[in-house]
Structure 1
């Protein structure tokens, strides 16, 4: 990233003999800012927006109205423009970030079209489609930025600054959490991420970046009308980001550079080939995007990055985060469920189930397929709310609390199918577990003030990996691990979270016999240290040799509870598993 900073700022000097290319350079910088806003929103957060041009319009029209009609400084226009872009992002994000699937992009289209129509029809205020002219040039340190050469230093400086800031975001707890939300919101919430709040903050940052681009656009052209802020413009920026590779900062910069140059070239070439009438470049964009996505589904940058030298990661050297005290005293009940009930329509999945887990104990929850084990598991962890009953953690009611509020109290879980994130390394996947133990917010992260805390979080993750025997794989991509090691990685993430009540959903699935013995040894050692473990698994050999007590379910009800030997002899259990008459 440090070389990118210098190369961007050298470009105006290299292109100074070519005024036309200096103009294109400024358009590239402005387009790249919008593409970076989509990197935050889509590349990290997994949300699709067709309203980025509307945020640009807020920044552009705010400064235009303040300077042209009010006679105020453009820098006041910048503050007003960014403020209005943030207000629009707050309103739009607050109403839409909870939407899923196609509803989110459709709602942003509606907002984009509405604001475009509004700008074109408020003739007395915005000048309608004729627009506002004669915006003043920006003046910086007494020097008027009244030509493309001078303006390029400002636009590229801001671009380089924001590239570094977003690089800091990606290499932080918030960047990891946004990537986790993109992949699996429930998994992210299970280690303390509030999905709606984090998505809204990403929306605000995205709106800020696009609003800044609108301000720069207005004072570069010194003219504003609705056309550059239309739905077509929003689609163009999304095409830029996706074609270049929206999941990486170099990708969105590549896309912005490619399409900024391509747009001008197509506007000159296509009329010669196809006649003077029609916006043929829009069709060409679609064909080019289709070709890119067929040949490189993740965009051009991942395709090019294969041929570039890979940056080797570093293992953490800082001291880990301080250990959290274990919940409860010796033998004390730390987790208790009473009378849990859950129905899905006419299906009664869980009916009056009660259980308790003591400190330092391994409690197994078993039963045949369809017995209601997973539903009970999800009721306890807050993934779904119960219809009746109560869950307490160290005597504190947690019934109905969402997972992101339960986790910081000291409870962590794994999943029946490992919920890992392939874009992240093994170390980063485990570091996700430290989210609730760290505090750096967006401003600290963007300014790079989070690095010491980040190093300690990674050191904590590495310590957890050593605990489960995966430290040699810390810098590998998580997707390369076999199923058994993926399950151990999830346990490491739970340990990194500092939680002392561990709920493990089928941790033995996919493990070979030797790996299961190592898993049993690990869980027993954790229990001896005071960790409390609730485990669901179908492997009876593993469970009966591991658990201190066993709770057996069938058809949504608890049918037996006791030591492994007592449960094995219970006629109801034998009937449920073996079909024997009770």
Structure 2
């Protein structure tokens, strides 16, 4: 990838040197691709939709225009101010909007976009209104003025290539995996230490900064700024570029920018000839083109061109795994305790005064009929739901009501009633997601590629966990190609990679064949001998009774029995509630 990018950087301006018009178009493509790549971060990775990217461009463009034309300072100082103001604007907008769900987030960004456009057009004394600001100085590098499309193309393409490499680093990192997980299932991501709101805000800031850089380049390329290029229509155009090319991939986003940059100019010349009148008919054509692409290639053009291929076998990581935290402490001590947990949903009392204690090295089963409240109890213990009453203690520390991303780093991990995997990631990446709380690389380290040693150790840790559950040979397969039973094993591998000592397993045997269940039982018993503590929910009574040291039985949200497997099987309340038998009078 790097070799081809730098080749394009050096070759394209020379190739187009005899054609000044196409050099100008090349610069517009590079700037549009920067904005579209900001949407790759926001939408392709983070699953958020923004109609305000042109507004971020406008903030940076007007900042550098005002500073260079009114104060007479260097354009590079204008870049610093423009990016600073853009990030401040993105921070305010992000704090107000990233917690919104569904259509509320894009609607709120539309409101901000329209408001900024109106301000730019009406603050005549500051921005020049719709007439704009003219005579911006040309950029200069090492004393060489970038005052022609040929010279400017080297800068714009160089920055585009750098950004592509940086975002490739982001995708292949703990942060890229976490953003993809947030897009698919925020609760699962949070269960492995990801703070959804904080990570989304950081992605929003990064996307805003990238769009701000594009606005700076746009302003000093044209050396003129007015509100039109930063309108809602412009934001929609950039979103169309990203979606049409394939917003989930970097090549797709760049392809979409190239396609629509060329298409826009071609349509502006062709449509008036066909229709016999002037007008912005290209907007209608965009809509038709996008509708056609999404009809025949719902994921965009690039996935269609590249094909749905397997990820392919790559070199397996050979780095030393992350340091494993062996379960420590006295065997038999209480590691997880629930006291009087209570949760109601409207008039339905789902959990009512449930208490139990899980000890180190123990397998404790939580059983009961469907609707007994077992999964709700799991959610209360892990922080996925706040309890209406009661307390939860983990290693003696109260964690009642703490969100999952704060509970997990303390040593608790969970699986779900239905497998929660991420199909766009490999099996290895799915397992490596669990190392998020054990790794530390931030956005700057990742973007500059300074995370690779830590990343290699995270992947090695994930591979080790996959091998332990028998999935090592499938590490580079797409996760959506696993069988239901293999997906269960993948969830267990994630727990092992996470370093958690207390494992909450919600129906781990569901979907497994008889042989796979025997291997699962063998693995769980081995983990218990090593000092791991397991809280297990499963409807397979043969599996449960053969594994559990103790059993807690629930019915209608209440605990009705507790004891060894033999004791609860003889309990008349259990036989009546769970097995459907009626106690003889």
Q: 2:72 — aligned with what?
A: 71
CA distance in 1, matches of 2:9, 2:309: 19
What is the deviation of 1:43? Answer: 0.3
- The correspondence of residues 403-482 of structure 1 with structure 2, limited to 5 A, is 403-482=404-483
Superimposed CA distance per residue, residues 108-157 of structure 1 (whole angstroms, 9 cap, x where no aligned partner): 00000000000000000000000000100001100000000000000000
Query: Residue 554 of structure 2: SS of its match in structure 1?
Result: strand
Query: Residue 476 of structure 1: SS of its match in structure 2?
Result: coil
Report if aligned partners of 2:311, 2:476 keep a CA contact under 8 Å in 1: no
CA distance in 2, matches of 1:35, 1:307: 23
CA distance in 2, matches of 1:386, 1:324: 30
Q: 1:394 — aligned with what?
A: 395
CA distance in 1, matches of 2:375, 2:481: 27
Report if aligned partners of 1:53, 1:112 keep a CA contact under 8 Å in 2: yes
CA distance in 2, matches of 1:328, 1:104: 47
What is the deviation of 1:329? Answer: 1.7
Change (3 A) 1:434 1:228: same
Report if aligned partners of 2:312, 2:477 keep a CA contact under 8 Å in 1: no
Query: Residue 578 of structure 1: SS of its match in structure 2?
Result: coil
Q: 1:547 — aligned with what?
A: 548
Change (3 A) 1:307 1:420: closer
CA distance in 2, matches of 1:327, 1:286: 61
Report if aligned partners of 1:430, 1:461 keep a CA contact under 8 Å in 2: yes
What is the deviation of 1:274? Answer: 1.0
Whether 2:296 is the aligned partner of 1:289: answer no
Q: 2:206 — aligned with what?
A: 205
Superimposed CA distance per residue, residues 389-424 of structure 1 (whole angstroms, 9 cap, x where no aligned partner): 000001100000000000000000001111100111
Whether 2:485 is the aligned partner of 1:484: answer yes
What is the deviation of 1:6? Answer: 2.0
CA distance in 2, matches of 1:458, 1:311: 16
What is the deviation of 1:456? Answer: 0.2
Query: Structure 1 unaligned runs (5+)?
Result: none
Query: Residue 342 of structure 2: SS of its match in structure 1?
Result: strand
**Number of positions where the alignment pairs a residue of Structure 1 with one of Structure 2:** 582
Query: Residue 368 of structure 1: SS of its match in structure 2?
Result: coil
- The correspondence of residues 491-502 of structure 1 with structure 2, limited to 5 A, is 491-502=492-503
Report if aligned partners of 1:350, 1:372 keep a CA contact under 8 Å in 2: yes
What is the deviation of 1:328? Answer: 3.3
Report if aligned partners of 1:327, 1:394 keep a CA contact under 8 Å in 2: no
CA distance in 1, matches of 2:366, 2:571: 15
Q: After TM superposition, where is structure 1 displaced by more than 4 Å over at least 4 residues in a row?
A: 307-312
Query: TM-score normalized by structure 2?
Result: 0.98
Q: 2:568 — aligned with what?
A: 567
Change (3 A) 1:309 1:437: closer
What is the deviation of 1:308? Answer: 9.1
- The correspondence of residues 13-28 of structure 1 with structure 2, limited to 5 A, is 13-28=14-29
CA distance in 2, matches of 1:166, 1:9: 21
Change (3 A) 1:309 1:491: closer
Report if aligned partners of 2:312, 2:476 keep a CA contact under 8 Å in 1: no
Report if aligned partners of 1:364, 1:536 keep a CA contact under 8 Å in 2: yes
- The correspondence of residues 34-53 of structure 1 with structure 2, limited to 5 A, is 34-53=35-54
Query: Residue 235 of structure 1: SS of its match in structure 2?
Result: helix
What is the deviation of 1:306? Answer: 2.1
Q: 1:30 — aligned with what?
A: 31
Q: CA RMSD in A?
A: 1.1
- The correspondence of residues 163-312 of structure 1 with structure 2, limited to 5 A, is 163-306=164-307, 312=313
Report if aligned partners of 2:310, 2:478 keep a CA contact under 8 Å in 1: no
What is the deviation of 1:310? Answer: 6.7
What is the deviation of 1:324? Answer: 1.1
CA distance in 1, matches of 2:15, 2:177: 37
Q: 1:324 — aligned with what?
A: 325
Report if aligned partners of 2:311, 2:478 keep a CA contact under 8 Å in 1: no
Query: Residue 578 of structure 2: SS of its match in structure 1?
Result: helix
Whether 2:365 is the aligned partner of 1:352: answer no
Query: TM-score normalized by structure 1?
Result: 0.99
Query: Residue 499 of structure 2: SS of its match in structure 1?
Result: coil
Report if aligned partners of 2:45, 2:248 keep a CA contact under 8 Å in 1: yes
CA distance in 2, matches of 1:404, 1:307: 33
